[in-house]
Every structure is written in C-alpha cells, then in structure tokens.
C-alpha cells in the first residue's frame, strides 16, 4: 500500500480551459474526500464519496466542478472553464471511518490558472 | 467555511523547547483531530481525541480537549527542527466530513 496518490502534482492552465485531477485512495478505504486549500488557509471541504456514491457537496462546488468515483475506486475532479480564483491546492483524502482513525491525505495537485 | 481557529497563527521557538498551540471550535463535536502539513505537501494525521476524552498522548504529543470551552490544545515537547510545519485542528461534527481550522505555522530555530 503506497498511500493516497494524486496526479498530476502540478497543473498550469489558461483561463477558460478544462482540467481534470485524479486521486487513487488506499484500496481498503471506502470513503474519499476532496478538499481545496489556498495559501495560508486550512483545507476547505468540497465533496465526499462513500464507495461510488457522492454523499455531500459543498456550496463551494459550483456547477463548473464535478467529481466522480466510478466503481468506488479512484476518483476524478473536473473543473470546467477555469477561472483565476480556482488557483489552489486540491487535496484528496481517504478513510475507513470508524471514529478511531483520521484521514490519509495525498500530496495534492497544485493548480495555477493564468 | 472553517469552523475552527488556531492560536497563535505563527509561533517560533528554540529547538528543545515545548510548543503549545490552541484550537477553538463552534459546535458540538464527535471527535477532534490534529494534522501536520509541511510546506506544499499533503496533511499528515497526528492524533485523534474523542469528545468523551480529556487528554491523549502520542510520543512527544499531548492533546487536551475541553468540550465546555469548545477548545483543544496540542503540546509538542522537546521540539526538533523537523517539527517545523503548519498544524491544523479538524473537527468532526457527527457527519462524515472534517472541518479544518486556519492553522498555526510553527518554526523551530536550531
């Protein structure tokens, strides 16, 4: 088990382009979370999955954002028509929530919209 | 929105000294967790304390929880240069997600 893997590590895109990020969680974990973090702030919740079901979406997740977790394994986060305000670190985490364990985070994907 | 706030926002201490950072939250919790983040990296889970616990230890870490004051503290004893990082508290309010605070940037001076 190599932990939570996120790809790519860095992405620079022009405003208006679409981008897609991938997260591979720890295989035994049935819960997967996406967070966004801007400089100097704590992570902000975007959405989470239990297996393949998307159970909650933050109001931060505008219509330009969509996340999927087909077959309850890896997940993708797509941002359409990127804006400069989308520039941030996008973090993925997974857990097998039992109230005794925390999240395992990936290293994140840093998005820069120019 | 972020439900927790850490205090202080930044802390610099000499290597070997103890570091204490505090966290306040706004609503009742199931548990509270502390995470560390090195610059530009993901977060690492340090310790979890449940709402019915008052103190917990893990190595050089000691966490306390005061649910009446809706606050928690993280103590790192005998600090090392490798402890330089940002530290975040995160609250679980009974649903599936964690809500993170704003973080404390800790710098250990060799």
More confident residue, B4 or B76: B76
User: What's the whole-number mean pLDDT along residues B48-66?
Assistant: 96
d(CA A55, CA B89) in angstroms, rounded, equals 23
Q: What is the pLDDT at residue B80?
A: 97
Q: What is the pLDDT at residue B96?
A: 72
Kindly determine whether residue B48 and residue A100, on different chains, have CB atoms separated by under 8 Å.
yes
Closest chain A C-alpha to B18 CA, distance in angstroms: 23
Q: What is the pLDDT at residue A99?
A: 58
Kindly determine whether residue A105 and residue B43, on different chains, have CB atoms separated by under 8 Å.
yes
More confident residue, B40 or A1: B40
pLDDT digits (tens, 9 = 90+) for A89-102: 999 999 986 656 78
Q: Which residues does chain A have within 8 Å of residue B101's beta carbon, measured at their own beta carbons?
A: 42
Q: Is the pLDDT of residue B95 over 80?
A: no
For residue B12, give the 3-state DSSP assignment: strand
Percent of chain A whose predicted confidence (pLDDT) is above 70: 96
Q: What is the pLDDT at residue B70?
A: 94
Which of the four pLDDT bands, split at 50, 70 and 90, describes residue B97? confident
pLDDT digits (tens, 9 = 90+) for B77-92: 999 999 999 999 999 8
CB-based contact, B91 to chain A, within 8 Å: no
**What backbone phi and psi angles, to 5 degrees, belong to B72?**
-140, 155
Kindly determine whether residue B96 and residue A48, on different chains, have CB atoms separated by under 8 Å.
yes
How many A×B Cβ pairs under 8 Å? 70
Q: Is the pLDDT of residue B3 over 70?
A: no
Kindly determine whether residue B100 and residue A44, on different chains, have CB atoms separated by under 8 Å.
yes
CB-based contact, B67 to chain A, within 8 Å: no
Residue A105: which of B4, B42, B92 has the nearest Cβ? B42
Q: What is the pLDDT at residue B5?
A: 82
DSSP result, A46-106: EEEEETTEEEEE-TTS-TTEEEE-GGGS-EEEEE-S--GGG-EEEEEEEE--SSS---EE-
Among the listed residues A87, A96, A85, A112, the one whose alpha carbon sits nearest the alpha carbon of residue A33: A96
As separate numbers, helices (DSSP H) first and strands (DSSP E) second, chain B gives 0, 11
Which of the four pLDDT bands, split at 50, 70 and 90, describes residue B40? confident
CA–chain centroid gap for B96, Å, is: 20
């Amino acid at each position: 088990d190599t932990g939570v893997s996120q790809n790519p590590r860095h992405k620079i895109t022009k405003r208006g382009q679409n981008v897609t990020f991938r997260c591979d969680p720890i295989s035994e974990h049935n819960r997967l979370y996406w967070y966004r973090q801007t400089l100097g702030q704590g992570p902000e919740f975007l959405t989470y999955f239990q297996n393949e079901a998307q159970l909650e979406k933050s109001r931060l997740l505008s219509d330009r954002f969509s996340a999927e977790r087909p077959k309850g394994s890896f997940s993708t986060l797509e941002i359409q028509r990127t804006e400069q305000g989308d520039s941030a670190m996008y973090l993925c985490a997974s857990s097998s929530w039992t109230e005794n364990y925390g999240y395992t985070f990936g290293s994140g994907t840093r998005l820069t919209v120019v | 929105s972020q439900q927790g706030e850490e205090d202080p926002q930044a802390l610099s201490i000499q290597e070997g000294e103890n570091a204490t950072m505090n966290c306040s939250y706004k609503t009742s919790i199931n548990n509270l967790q502390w995470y560390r983040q090195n610059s530009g990296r993901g977060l690492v889970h340090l310790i979890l304390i449940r709402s019915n616990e008052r103190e917990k230890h893990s190595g050089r870490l000691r966490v306390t929880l005061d649910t009446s004051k809706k606050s928690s503290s993280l103590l790192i004893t005998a600090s090392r240069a490798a402890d330089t990082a940002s530290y975040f508290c995160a609250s679980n309010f009974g649903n599936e997600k964690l809500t993170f605070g704003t973080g404390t940037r800790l710098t250990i001076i060799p």
